[in-house]
A and B are shown apart, each in its own frame.
Chain A
């Protein structure tokens, strides 16, 4: 959409913007959960991300946007079987909306009725999960999503593969996507399993100082008055960030990860008592992605420290009654740990 609000023009909300950018650099981090009150610009920012994403190579007319440079696994059946060199084309990384009220058949895909009726052939009509392969899947108000849709998502998000067994179809196709969810925590809790699927989580708040508020008003006014002029004014910043993401994606593999970083990550997770290994892995990956984004050749403790709250916030073992915010707990442990390291 050319009329979307530019990502870089979103006033404040640096945490959210950084988390989304990191997820764009390394899709393997596992998505971003954005929780916050009304009017914090959650959906605006996330939708704005679409315009910022770099282009990727895809196999032409493959419904799953398979990567022409990749060999098995991770390809759809058709692309895997094909012996000839695939025809390449490029597309912008897809950002697919999973609207509330979607039915299961559209999410996971189903029998293509038209072809079944006309030709009598059993063809699969890919769903939103197919469209989101190698891209982003955005669920607004993720905490209100129907349970049976959440179930489908959980499974696919974990395996990176969508398995459809219905209406006599037996299909499996790659579905690796960055899950981005947003919601207002006051309206209901997120299922713990789903929460765990997100790599990063951010809390957004409404800015409460006058200058920021005025800036929001001014920006919005200018945008409403003339959308394309507004976009033009931000075009340079947008393309700078786009190039930065592109470069970071390329540099990601060459970022060094010193041993003490791994160790600190493990210590941090141990001290916070987070469940499973996922926290540790995500912590290291995010630190690397952040380093790549900043153009640093080595992931350092500083990177780790600054991204740790986003990685660990939602992984702390839940005491439903503990009021002290997760951020405070994470920060406390970090400061303890890092004073130790300094000695």
Chain B
């Protein structure tokens, strides 16, 4: 067991070396870092170790035709037949590429990256071209490392190593450890590295203990452990290599942390006694042999201080956030997708579809050639032939439910509100809207369900919603504004439905004070009203009070009082008001 604690930068340096050694086997690196000198330096290290002259970058808004390849315009026109142009993924075959702002990649781009990572090749069937391209890439998907925005889970799942540079300051950057020769030597050694069954079992067990569903993480961890051994100049994988794999591959993907607070039942186990146990794999994750315990503990002990706590907060969020950004990844539909072609005049705007234009022009060519008496001219295209691409600008819409679950809104009303939301959900399903759910009680407002189309998840989130406590209205409205803002940046139209009795009694700073609470709520309401959004306030008080109406007025939203309504009437009213 190693006793020295590797620094965060040392881990990052190892990751850079491993990426170069075996990036194609583990997909690549999920880089979490805000832009800055540390990130630049790390990327610099990757490039230096790779020997590539530069690392190519895939922009988030790359068109599909450029990413995959498609028709080569110039060559096609010149030769009079479709000529394929190799796409960016094909050009980057056996190279390291960066997807900067990977959290912004449209879902389709994510898919193509995933296929390239899985198969090392792409099949392309577009614009008259039908071909296979080799595209074995090593990907660095960089996001800004914030908690709200994550790269798509399908992508992060395929990237074996996670590097987090967020907590490394410029002074945290240390001396280089590796050079290219070392990597080449490790490469020569790599295929002969021996992993014992015990180590495989350890990694499988640890990945389950850490609540990692996908087996890909464990597969990558084994590879990384081998790579680490190769880099260290060994022929067998040792505990320290497993610890390295654990730090780079498994812990960053952890959805739960094992309970470390519990004291060890056997304070001093003799490691030799464990040897026979390694022969047979353990049956379940509960019967974790002390071997894994020991490893996990050793690794956790190696982690720099503060990181653990950071992980713990992240572990709680990771499930929610990984799937939560799915709303953002449907952006391609909002930006307009090519959905067909039509004959049109390109001078009025619009994008000429070369292929359709050629198809329209093709049958006339012999005739036109004869007409002109100019047999040398290969291609003659007339205005009538011009075809434009039709884009569909589909506006995505989001219905955001903001539910007051405080004590004043009373349990029974909460049940009714839940019922109404459920009925509305069914409506959203028909319209294929996204839904999101904010609940507020006690000190905080919480985004229980980020925008999603999964109604089952919406329902689960709703059912789990507890009631009681104070009413932090201002916080709820601010959170609503955040979500609305984020959604509108992605071109999504949002409407929110606020179910409350309007009795705000928690100020923004968390103090319980009716006056301050109401004042803050009205200020927050004014801020929200500036957003281009339709709001609906449903007064759930037993006896409607002016305060909910005041709130609705400030929000410039529609107000509906429903002193005694069951879920169905509530639903009807909402439909009438929002329709």
- A206 CA to B425 CA, complexed, in Å: 29
Partner of A214, one of B200, B340, B358: B200
Nearest residue (CB) in A for B82 is A113
A184 near B214 with CB under 8 A, answer: no
- A139 CA to B255 CA, complexed, in Å: 30
Partner of A209, one of B222, B284, B425: B284
Partner of A99, one of B124, B153, B157, B379: B124
A211 near B283 with CB under 8 A, answer: yes
A39 near B222 with CB under 8 A, answer: no
Give residues of chain A (110-146) contacting chain B, Cβ–Cβ below 8 Å: 110-111, 113-114, 116-118, 120, 122, 125, 127-128, 140-141, 144, 146
A320 near B25 with CB under 8 A, answer: no
Q: Does A341 contact B (CB under 8 A)?
A: no
Closest CB-CB distance, B215 to chain A, in whole Å? 5
B80 near A114 with CB under 8 A, answer: yes
- Give the residues in chain A near B222, CB-CB below 8 Å: 217, 221
Nearest residue (CB) in A for B457 is A186
Closest CB-CB distance, B391 to chain A, in whole Å? 12
Q: Does A38 contact B (CB under 8 A)?
A: yes
Interface centre among A37, A146, A210 (most CB of B within 10 A): A210
Contact with B along A225-253 (1 / 0, CB 8 A): 10000000000000000000000000000
Give residues of chain B (214-230) contacting chain A, Cβ–Cβ below 8 Å: 214-216, 218-219, 222-223
Nearest residue (CB) in B for A184 is B154
Knowing A101-B112, A214-B200, say if A207 contacts B215 (CB, 8 Å).
yes
- Give the residues in chain B near A148, CB-CB below 8 Å: 339-340
- A320 CA to B203 CA, complexed, in Å: 39
Closest CB-CB distance, A113 to chain B, in whole Å? 5
- A62 CA to B329 CA, complexed, in Å: 42
- A140 CA to B107 CA, complexed, in Å: 13
Give residues of chain A (169-207) contacting chain B, Cβ–Cβ below 8 Å: 184-189, 206-207
Nearest residue (CB) in B for A224 is B25
Q: Does B422 contact A (CB under 8 A)?
A: yes
- A155 CA to B195 CA, complexed, in Å: 52
Q: Does B207 contact A (CB under 8 A)?
A: yes
- A124 CA to B129 CA, complexed, in Å: 14
- Give the residues in chain A near B204, CB-CB below 8 Å: 210, 213-214, 217
Nearest residue (CB) in B for A114 is B81
Q: Does B305 contact A (CB under 8 A)?
A: no
Nearest residue (CB) in B for A146 is B337
A320 near B115 with CB under 8 A, answer: no
- A210 CA to B212 CA, complexed, in Å: 12
Closest CB-CB distance, A273 to chain B, in whole Å? 18
- Give the residues in chain A near B218, CB-CB below 8 Å: 213, 216-217
A120 near B195 with CB under 8 A, answer: no
Query: Size range of the interface on B?
Result: 35 or more
Q: Does A218 contact B (CB under 8 A)?
A: yes
B200 near A37 with CB under 8 A, answer: no
B195 near A102 with CB under 8 A, answer: no
A113 near B359 with CB under 8 A, answer: yes
Closest CB-CB distance, B382 to chain A, in whole Å? 15
Q: Does A100 contact B (CB under 8 A)?
A: yes
Closest CB-CB distance, A211 to chain B, in whole Å? 5
Q: Does B302 contact A (CB under 8 A)?
A: no
Give residues of chain A (70-124) contacting chain B, Cβ–Cβ below 8 Å: 97-107, 110-111, 113-114, 116-118, 120, 122
- A104 CA to B64 CA, complexed, in Å: 14
Q: Does A267 contact B (CB under 8 A)?
A: no
Partner of A38, one of B157, B363, B425, B460: B157
Nearest residue (CB) in B for A187 is B326
Knowing A113-B82, A320-B425, say if A120 contacts B125 (CB, 8 Å).
no
Q: Does B336 contact A (CB under 8 A)?
A: no
Q: Does A305 contact B (CB under 8 A)?
A: no
A167 near B359 with CB under 8 A, answer: yes
Partner of A120, one of B215, B337, B366: B366
Interface centre among B219, B283, B340, B359 (most CB of A within 10 A): B359
Q: Does B454 contact A (CB under 8 A)?
A: yes
- Give the residues in chain A near B223, CB-CB below 8 Å: 221, 224
A321 near B422 with CB under 8 A, answer: yes
Knowing A213-B208, A321-B455, say if A106 contacts B281 (CB, 8 Å).
no
B363 near A120 with CB under 8 A, answer: yes
Q: Does B68 contact A (CB under 8 A)?
A: yes
B127 near A105 with CB under 8 A, answer: yes
B130 near A106 with CB under 8 A, answer: yes
- A43 CA to B323 CA, complexed, in Å: 20
Contact with A along B419-442 (1 / 0, CB 8 A): 000100110010010000000000
Nearest residue (CB) in B for A11 is B215
Nearest residue (CB) in A for B379 is A117
Q: Does B282 contact A (CB under 8 A)?
A: yes
- Give the residues in chain B near A168, CB-CB below 8 Å: 363
- A107 CA to B340 CA, complexed, in Å: 13
- Give the residues in chain A near B379, CB-CB below 8 Å: 117
B219 near A220 with CB under 8 A, answer: yes
A43 near B118 with CB under 8 A, answer: yes
- Give the residues in chain B near A37, CB-CB below 8 Å: 213-214
Q: Does B456 contact A (CB under 8 A)?
A: yes
Closest CB-CB distance, A104 to chain B, in whole Å? 7
- A146 CA to B391 CA, complexed, in Å: 12
- A208 CA to B207 CA, complexed, in Å: 10
- Give the residues in chain B near A141, CB-CB below 8 Å: 111
Partner of A206, one of B214, B378, B456: B214
Contact with A along B429-468 (1 / 0, CB 8 A): 1001000000000000000000011111101100000000
- A239 CA to B456 CA, complexed, in Å: 42
- A188 CA to B454 CA, complexed, in Å: 7
- Give the residues in chain A near B507, CB-CB below 8 Å: none
B80 near A38 with CB under 8 A, answer: no
Closest 7 CB pairs of A and B: A39-B214, A116-B362, A120-B366, A213-B204, A114-B81, A106-B125, A103-B126
A and B contact pairs by CB, cutoff 8 A, 5 listed? A38-B157, A101-B64, A189-B453, A208-B208, A210-B282
By a beta-carbon cutoff of 8 Å, the part of chain B in contact with chain A is: 25, 64, 68, 80-82, 107-108, 111-112, 115, 118-119, 122-130, 153-154, 157, 191, 195, 197, 200-201, 203-205, 207-208, 213-216, 218-219, 222-223, 281-285, 323, 326, 329-330, 337-340, 355-356, 358-360, 362-363, 365-367, 378-379, 422, 425-426, 429, 432, 452-457, 459-460
If A113-B81, A187-B329 are given as contacts, then 5 extra A-B residue pairs at C-beta distance below 8 Å, sorted by A number, are A39-B157, A104-B340, A116-B362, A120-B362, A221-B222
